Amino acid sequence: MTPAILLLQDGTIFNGYAAGKIGTTTGEICFNTGMTGYQEVFTDPSYYKQIVVMTNIFIGNYGVKKSETESNKMQIAGLVCKNWMPNYSRSMADGNVQEYFENEQMVGIQGVDTRAIVRHIRNAGVMNCIISSEISDVEELKKRLAAEPSMAGRELSSEVSTKESYFFGEEKSAIKVAVLDLGVKKNILRCMADRGMYLKVFPAKTKLDEMMKFNPDGYFISNGPGDPASMPYAIATVKDILATNKPLFGICLGHQLLSEACGISTYKMHNGHRGLNHPVINLQTGKCEITSQNHGFAVKEEEAKQNANVEVTHLNLNDNTIEGIKVKNKKAFSVQYHPESSPGPHDSRYLFDDFLEMIKLN
């Protein structure tokens, strides 16, 4: 086994062994507490430039399967895990994690005490880190790590978004939705297409007039990586969409952008929410949902509650952070979590039905 090093920005070092390709990678370290769905996490564009610590004790146990991906390639910057399992048992799988990582040129570290790392991040907050299974000189690693920009203020959507617009779903559908792709997960598109929406997916920097040519019945603002505050172009697009009075639905980054468009600012969280077990209460129905989450930024609670144009619809039961809003006198709503899940519970899929209903009634 090839030794590997994980070095954090604050100088903390964890020694382990290589997982995946032999190499070096940098990114912001974050942790995900989900116990299933590692491949969906690896391919989720919202994890772009992030090194993910998976707290689940095994990674790779059920192999990899082409259909269980959220985009066309791996998006994480690197992986940190406890037990790396190239041997898998799933009959329906297409291959093992080691080959998958090698094919996708992905670097990871295994055999480290992931719990100790999580406790460290929980206290110290998220920070940049570097993994290497080829360089053992810590000074050299520190030099390379210093070159990695901070996630705060970073615009990344235009890097992961589609370069060309494309269509998704059944062309004959009566309902058309324009999707602003800021790093959209495939399952969001599937959830809408399954409900009879025909989608045209646009690159991140597309302006409203371009999207209007598709003559959509509604707009969708996707999830994605990076700092929402650094995306004035997308905030402007959302404002323009709001002015059309057409139905609008936003998820995760889309939720943060809708908030920004309404004058609510966002902030970088201490260590974010990433996992499949986050409890949310729907204030409109009083019902609770277990949600799939992946965000390092959030909208400011006080500003959201005080904003006269916005109603807070969902709250996190653990820390009371804002999980959903709707814009008063508009047909626009958004959630911070991931109703499309994949991975994660399907409790919140009703939001796609709500969106469909909103379009139909419009």
Catalytically annotated residues: 252, 338, 340
Helix residue ranges, H only, 114-156: 114-124, 138-146
| DSSP one-letter code for 62 | T
Q: Indicate the residue among 90 and 143 with the shorter CB distance to other proteins.
A: 90
Q: CA 185 to CA 194: how far, in whole Å?
A: 15
The answer to whether 234 touches 258, Cβ cutoff 8 Å, is: no
Q: How far is the CB of 65 from other proteins (least distance, A)?
A: 7
The answer to whether 82 touches 116, Cβ cutoff 8 Å, is: no
Q: Indicate the residue among 315 and 325 with the shorter CB distance to other proteins.
A: 315
12 binds other proteins (CB under 8 A): no
270 binds other proteins (CB under 8 A): no
346 binds other proteins (CB under 8 A): yes
Q: How far is the CB of 233 from other proteins (least distance, A)?
A: 34
Q: CA 140 to CA 142: how far, in whole Å?
A: 5
The answer to whether 169 touches 192, Cβ cutoff 8 Å, is: yes
Per-residue contact track with other proteins, 111 to 130, x per CB under 8 A? --xxx--xx--x--------
Binding other proteins (rule: CB under 8 A), the pick from 10, 13, 22, 65 is 65
What is 221-257 written as a DSSP string?
E---SS-GGG-HHHHHHHHHHHHHT--EEEETHHHHH
Binding other proteins (rule: CB under 8 A), the pick from 12, 61, 96, 165 is 61
| DSSP one-letter code for 118 | H
Residues within window 183-222 making contact with other proteins, judged by CB under 8 A: none
Per CB under 8 A, residues contacting other proteins are 31, 33-37, 40, 55-58, 61-62, 65, 68, 82-83, 85, 87-92, 113-115, 118-119, 122, 275-279, 281, 286-288, 290, 317-319, 341-346
